[in-house]
Structure 1
Amino acid sequence: MDTLSHMLLKALRDGSLQGIKLAPTAPTLTHLFFVDDSLILAKASPQQLYQIMQILNIFSQASSQRINLHKPGIICRNALDIVTKQSMAAILQMQIWSNSSFYLGLPSVWGRSKVAALPWVKERVQKNIEGWKEALLNQAGKKKLSSKQAFKQCPRMQWQ
């Protein structure tokens, strides 16, 4: 995968691949590699897509690794018209994933407002932490925790 990474970065330096920037001062991203997944980022142009396919084909031939054509997909911005999306799918020979799909447990499309997108992440983390706390407590601690949670759920009394 280091070789594939170097190939994508070389294409970026040569100007044959553009990648994307998450912010004006951020570095350009062409790819993200995970344990057994890869995410390649590019502009929606035929030249960019053909460049990606060429890099993947050279990498596949050199490494004897094949791309599982049933697994990859394309995630596009909502602003792209359907003709462009279908053209991209034809060039890459991949399916178009809907914007409501998830990748590694996170939404594939965040939108502009990160403040609106992230509360569910905070909620999931808090639930996991509560589960961990409860799993590590002894019987007396669990009883105390459940009484605190019940107290939190009760409406507050108003004193006159």
Structure 2
Amino acid sequence: MAFLEGNAIKVGVRSLITGLLMKCVETVNFSVLVNGKAGRNIRPTRGIRAKVKEWRRIYGVLQLYESASGQALNKEKTSIMFSNNTSSDDRRRVNQEAGVVMCDSYERYLGLPAFVGRSKYNAFQSIKERIWLKIQNWKTSFLSKAGKEIMIKAVLQAVPTYTIGVFLLPKRLCTEIEGLLSRFW
């Protein structure tokens, strides 16, 4: 929580607002509804600790969900990722108990980067490249102004739509994409 509080203060959020924000974050707890009945309260900590005991609790919740919904966890499609702070013994034990694939990192999830890191520009550079490839494929066609307008509005501007709904793209990247579209026009 010190990270959030420190950054709020650093960017100039007033101490009263910061205090209220921290109360909201620090006092959160959850309960899972199964068939309309609330289970025990779950109080989040700094992530889920990778111990076999915690995995069993998580798996118990998943089993409740499976029995309530009729959906089952597909272990062939399920993978587990551990933080760098997790010891190799704990990783091995949890993985053995879980019976799922262990992975080092998730590069992409639903077509978006799972972890953006410091450079958003580099993380989303692929959007600009996809637009450029579509333009290159269509440049050989002789399109009228109306055809180009339809191409821009229906195809090219649709490429970043899903990503923009999830992430705020860097201005530099937006400007470069805008430049590609205007040069195509």
TM-score in terms of structure 1 length: 0.51
Task: Classify 1:65/1:133 alpha carbon distance in 2 versus 1 (closer, same or farther; 3 Å).
Answer: farther
SS of residue in 1 equivalent to 2:62 = helix
User: What's the counterpart of residue 96 of structure 1?
Assistant: 102
**Partner amino acid for 1:58?**
L
Q: Find the aligned partners of 1:92 and 1:62 in 2 and give their Cα distance.
A: 21
The unaligned stretches of length 5 or more in structure 1 are 22-40, 111-116, 144-160
Q: Distance in 2 between matches of 1:82 and 1:59?
A: 30
Q: Which has the higher helix share?
A: 2
Q: What pairs with 1:17-28 in structure 2 (closer than 5 Å)?
A: 19-21=44-46
> Corresponding residue for 2:177?
131
Q: Relative to structure 1, is the Cα distance of residues 51 and 122 closer, same or farther in structure 2, using a 3 angstrom cutoff? A: same
Aligned position for 1:106 = 113
The alignment-based identity, stated in percent, is 12
CA distance in 2, matches of 1:72, 1:85: 15
Give the corresponding residue for 1:45: 51
CA contact (8 A) 1:19 1:43 kept: no
Shift of 1:19: 3.8
- Deviations 1:104-144, CA, capped at 9 Å, x for gaps: 23355x7xxxxxx321x134244455224522x2xxxx28x
Distance 2:98 2:174 in 1: 38
* Moved >2 Å (runs of 4+): 8-11, 18-21, 103-108, 122-135
Give the secondary-structure state (helix, strand or coil) at the position aligned to 2:32: helix
**CA separation of 1:103 and 1:43: change in aligned 2, threshold 3 A:** farther
Q: Kindly tell me the number of residue pairs found equivalent between the two proteins.
A: 103
Amino acid across the alignment from 2:118: L
Q: How much is the aligned-residue C-alpha RMSD, in angstroms?
A: 3.1
> Any idea what SS the aligned residue of 1:7 has?
strand
1:146 alignment partner in structure 2? none
SS in 1 for 2:73: coil
The one of 32, 41, 56 equivalent to 1:7 is 32
Amino acid corresponding to residue 68 of structure 1 in structure 2: N
- Unaligned 5+ residue runs, structure 2? 1-29, 125-168
Mapped partners of 2:39, 2:121: distance in 1: 37
Query: Contact 1:89–1:96 at 8 Å: present in 2 too?
Result: yes
Cα 1:69–1:129 change in 2 (3 A) is: farther
TM-score, normalising length from structure 2? Answer: 0.45
